[in-house]
Amino acid sequence: MKKYFWIDAAIATMFIFLLMGGIYKLTQLRLFDAFDSIGQALADVELTDYVFSQLREDPPLDTNIVVINFGELSRRQVAEQIRIISQHKPKVIGIDGFYNCQGLPRDTVFCPPLKDSIGNLMLSYAIKEAGNVVLVSKLLKSLELSRQDVEDVYDSLEQSDPLFREVMFAEGYASLETDAAYQDDVKTCRTFNPKMEVNGVNHLAFAVQMAMLYDSVKTKKFLARDNFSEVINYRGNIADFFGQTKYPQVFYTLDVEDVFTENFLPSMIEGKVVIFGFLGKEFGDPSWSDKFFTPLNLKMAGKANPDMFGVVVHANIVSMILNEDYVNTMKDWQEWVLAIVLCYLNVALFSLIYIKLPDWYDGITKLIQVAELILFTLIMVEVFDLFSYKFDTTLSLAAIALVGDSYEIYMGVIKNSINRLKNSRLFTKGRSKVLNSDNQ
């Protein structure tokens, strides 16, 4: 009897995971999106977002990183910014902006910035003179590769104009992991790829390249984790003029005019990582250009406004690497093992309740499910808050949520069908034996 009890529990567990797979495939078809406004609002929410936006203590100011706004400046004006800043000997300068013709023919008709030949030469000279400038590139797929519908594989890069690449110190791709279908789509950024292979050559992310030039020992230690994707352990934002996060300013920032008027102390710049990027036309500009939703956003569901510019996301990644403050995550196989074991134990427990207390089955199992869901949710949040470990119980929670009703379906439909089939076969065999004996 005990033997069949555990075999039954194993078969029921398999049935539950098959049912989960079917439900997942059905939801992928988006048949009910028109009726599911709540589900759509919660679609981009993770429980760990609550830790970032509500629970964590305010991080200290990171004095190793300075973020500078280049707004909508021309190339010659950016060149002047670089010249002013490089006088104060920063260790690394990163420029989070493309200076190219965006795939169009390289002439003054299709690429108007080329008309300012003096401005282009000034920018090229400023990059060369600084001697420590990191430019950005972008991961791209050819049309042929796009048609193959493969994820996370790229075969080309968008890069800055050769005029600037010839004098730069290094470059790194600024592409971040989001679910956005195109550049101006809503972008939620929780993770990034530290390195990617393009046509057999390894390339580092923009933030990783800057960190490598600042402290190669810490960066190599980070890369030795060899994770294809890393969770960004956000430390903070720049000045928040619209109250979208509760985090204080964690990076020194200079606006366009602050640089031109040299409204800063030289000690802020010397030996630091300085990252130029777009922070709006000026501080306080509500522009959505190159802006992301992050876990720091106070509105976890149905977010209205993005909360962080792309250059600040890169600053957070650099800060995470240099402070060696990473987020560790469960491996996929660990998540599956945990889910299967918990589901199996729940099925065994619910089987006993089904056999011993059939009249109480619904009430008791629902209470157990609710208690388990709350418990594992709290564990996941607390572990992430205390240890920066992403204890992912998504599969486990889904299995627990389904196990009670799924077990009833298994017993009422699957098990009864199997028993009826067995009984009908036994009846047929018994009847054939009787007929054979009568004929004799």
Domain encompassing residue 187: 47-329
Are both 314 and 345 inside the same structural domain? no
> In angstroms, rounded to a whole number, what is the distance separating the alpha carbons of residues 168 and 170?
6
Answer yes or no: is 426 within a domain: yes
Answer yes or no: is 342 within a domain: yes
Are both 37 and 160 inside the same structural domain? no
The amino acid at 87: Q
> In angstroms, rounded to a whole number, what is the distance separating the alpha carbons of residues 267 and 272?
9
Are both 362 and 214 inside the same structural domain? no
Are both 221 and 135 inside the same structural domain? yes
Pairing, β 156-158 against β 328-329: unpaired
> In angstroms, rounded to a whole number, what is the distance separating the alpha carbons of residues 106 and 104?
6
Tell me the whole-structure pTM to 2 decimals: 0.85
Q: How far is CA 126 from CA 216, 270, 333, in A?
A: 25, 17, 50
Q: Take residue 176 and report the two structure tokens written for it.
A: 């971040």
Pairing, β 389-390 against β 156-158: unpaired
pLDDT at 135: 97
Are both 325 and 340 inside the same structural domain? no
Are both 344 and 292 inside the same structural domain? no
Cα angle 422, 354, 404; round to 5: 100
Answer yes or no: is 440 within a domain: no
Q: How far is CA 307 from CA 236, 320, 360, in A?
A: 11, 19, 49
pLDDT at 286: 81
Are both 236 and 261 inside the same structural domain? yes
The amino acid at 103: G
Per DSSP, the three-state class of 277 is strand
In 3D, which of 98, 66, 64 has the Cα closest to residue 84? 66
The domain boundary residue, chosen from 309, 329, 349: 329
> In angstroms, rounded to a whole number, what is the distance separating the alpha carbons of residues 33 and 38?
10
Are both 20 and 166 inside the same structural domain? no
Residue 419's CB is within 10 A of a number of other CB atoms, namely 10
Are both 210 and 240 inside the same structural domain? yes
Residues 220-225: contacts with CB under 8 Å, at least 24 apart: 221/324, 222/194, 222/321, 222/324, 222/326, 223/194, 223/195, 225/326
In 3D, which of 252, 177, 247, 181 has the Cα closest to residue 207? 177
**Bridge partner residues of 196 (DSSP):** 203
Answer yes or no: is 317 within a domain: yes
The domain boundary residue, chosen from 329, 355, 386: 329
Residue pLDDT tens, the chain, 440 long? 566 788 888 888 998 898 888 877 766 544 444 434 434 444 455 777 878 877 788 888 999 999 999 999 999 999 999 999 999 999 999 999 999 988 788 888 888 888 999 999 999 999 999 999 999 999 998 888 888 878 888 989 999 999 999 999 999 999 998 876 666 667 889 999 999 999 889 999 999 999 999 999 999 999 999 999 999 999 988 877 777 777 778 999 999 999 999 999 999 999 999 999 999 999 988 888 899 989 888 876 665 688 899 999 999 999 999 999 999 998 889 999 999 999 999 999 999 998 899 889 889 999 999 999 999 989 988 898 888 898 888 889 889 988 888 888 888 777 777 777 766 665 455 555 544 555 55
pLDDT at 20: 85
pLDDT at 220: 97
> In angstroms, rounded to a whole number, what is the distance separating the alpha carbons of residues 46 and 344?
26
Cβ-count burial of 241 within 10 angstroms (0-12 exposed, 13-18 middle, 19+ buried)? Answer: exposed
In 3D, which of 137, 125, 136 has the Cα closest to residue 82? 125
Pairing, β 230-231 against β 191-192: antiparallel
Q: Take residue 273 and report the two structure tokens written for it.
A: 């990582």
Are both 383 and 304 inside the same structural domain? no
Answer yes or no: is 258 within a domain: yes
Report how far Cα 243 is from the mean position of its chain's Cα atoms.
23
Are both 21 and 63 inside the same structural domain? no
> In angstroms, rounded to a whole number, what is the distance separating the alpha carbons of residues 123 and 70?
13
The amino acid at 108: T
Tally the domains of the chain.
2
The domain boundary residue, chosen from 329, 362, 378: 329
Answer yes or no: is 319 within a domain: yes
Are both 178 and 217 inside the same structural domain? yes
Rg value, the chain, Cα:
29
Answer yes or no: is 293 within a domain: yes
pLDDT at 264: 96
